[in-house]
Structure 1
Amino acid sequence: MKITFEDLLELLPDTPIARLANDLPEKIAHGLSEQRWANLKKWIPEVENLPDFGDVDFDLNAHDLAIGKTHPISEEQRDALRHQLKSFMPWRKGPFSVMGIDIDTEWRSDWKWDRVSPHISPLKYRYVLDVGCGSGYHCWRMAGEGASMVVGIEPSPLSNMQYWSIRHFIGANNVYMLPLTLEEVPANVAGFDTVFSMGVLYHRRSPIDHLYQLKACMKQGSELVLETLVVNAPEGTDPLGYSLVPEDRYAQMRNVWFLPTVETLTHWMQRVGFKDIKVVDVDQTSLEEQRTTEWMNYQSLKDFLDPDDINKTAEGYQAPTRATFVARL
């Protein structure tokens, strides 16, 4: 299977998100430039040389997509495929099951979907944007809910290769991933019915600008699903207006900038113009949801927490707690 975006480019002019096509070939070329990302020289051939097993069964509503569950292949074929899929390690977002191979990812992203999905508007017939979509796991689940089109944007070249390796077996199924940042999306696309930003806000140096950029992708009356790290205000501090800016690292991550309280983030969203804002879930990340596995064999959450108190990060801050907000434009 050749990595190509021709199908999406042909579809976009007849959709409510036609503006997304502005300068898209040039942006894709930049996002997947082998001059910028040397590893693409080995990853792209690995994707394009994945074996063709013909039409395989899959279930986009299954927690692991259940790809090829009933499709017989030999153990030799399975071993060779496992070796190819492992060339795209570390696999962080999933899980996936591909031709009898269980890709046990660092994150149990299916748990997040189970927490979020009951609280959002039905996705059937909607145009959906997933910002910072990682491997595209949630995009496939959104398609399983009947979305007309799901567009994921993700600048990581490895995550893009993971998406293409899954797409190789099940086809596009109205799911498309672009190697872009949100800043590279044309201004005022203003056509998506639902926009997801999950696990992105705290990585942005300007969270208010991020909210405005999300808003610019949405049409009037559409829905925003925002999930991010939050903190409690220190005792005696008014939670409205409080936001933690880590001194250096947070849970060993350098690129964490603002961790607001629920009240502060609600206020930010109101100021930007969102309404009917609801906090539908607040959940402290568990050691079972984010962990080291055979498919992501680097340090994970356990290594980033205080060894004597898992309710604190290694730096002494409140342990990662994620809140999900649903709002309308």
Structure 2
Amino acid sequence: MPSTEGVIVILGTGGTIAGTAASATQHTGYTAGALGAEALLAAVPALQGRPLEAESIAQIDSSNMDGATWARLATRCATHLARPEVAGVVVTHGTDTLEETAYWLHRVLAPQKPLVLTAAMRPATALSPDGPQNLFDAVNVAGTPGARGVLAVLGGVVVGAADLRKVHGYRVDAFSAGDAGPMALLEDGRLRLLRPWAEGTPHAAAAHLPGLLAGQPWPLVDVVTSHALADGRVVEALVAAGSRGLVVAGTGNGSVHAAVKAAAERAMAQGVRVLRASRCQLGGVVGGAPDDLPSAGTLTPVQARIELMLDLLVEAG
């Protein structure tokens, strides 16, 4: 694969890719984030001799991802991407919230260089870990001339941040590129681009990164699921607890139980921002009636939550 031979910076955040287990046959119940970024690089001999830098941002299970880590990660990504000698940045991450971190970085950075996230479904101690190959591929994509934007590389597939979906809880091929399909494929060490690299514009909330890094509180935004036998108690409880935004994950094409809808409308009357998404992994919300709750369109519930948080940060000034 062609490379600029510029520096590639590896930022580690933990996750299964950095996980260790008591046995090589153990794929669950392991300790996520046990290894730092340097150790992950050492496990990929094919990367030795490349102009690489490694930095550990965190060593956590990504199910425990927090705002402080997000703020620090985005800030460090921006700092490294601004260095002229850096061709791209790779972030190693857990799979559980990979799609959320990818969308967050996409919205606040929208970089003109490649910012590539990668992960693994098996710990580093497994008989056949998927992390080393994913990391190798991610470094190669990050060094590809012309590549840009926030991308995820897993199992030889390159996916745009806005399209990334985790669709399986255990299999190695746990991710989908949604309706858009893959951005590119890695085939025998070569990148086959399937569609143009995504363009993006940073959300105005990017200006709040220094404040978030300094401990500025995040707006409280929650996800409520609509389902059979639902009522409005969860919505009412969240509003009473201080939620400033709510994403209703509706059934099918964003359908919302009448009781939940009524509670959400009462919340909106109190100044709470509401978006209606679909709890289905693919498809989003298409169309709707005039009296429907505001639509999140193609955004997943967790993406819509990030979008609302960013909007509320700007509104707060």
Q: Please, what TM-score do these two structures have when normalized by structure 2? A: 0.31
Q: Please, what TM-score do these two structures have when normalized by structure 1? A: 0.30
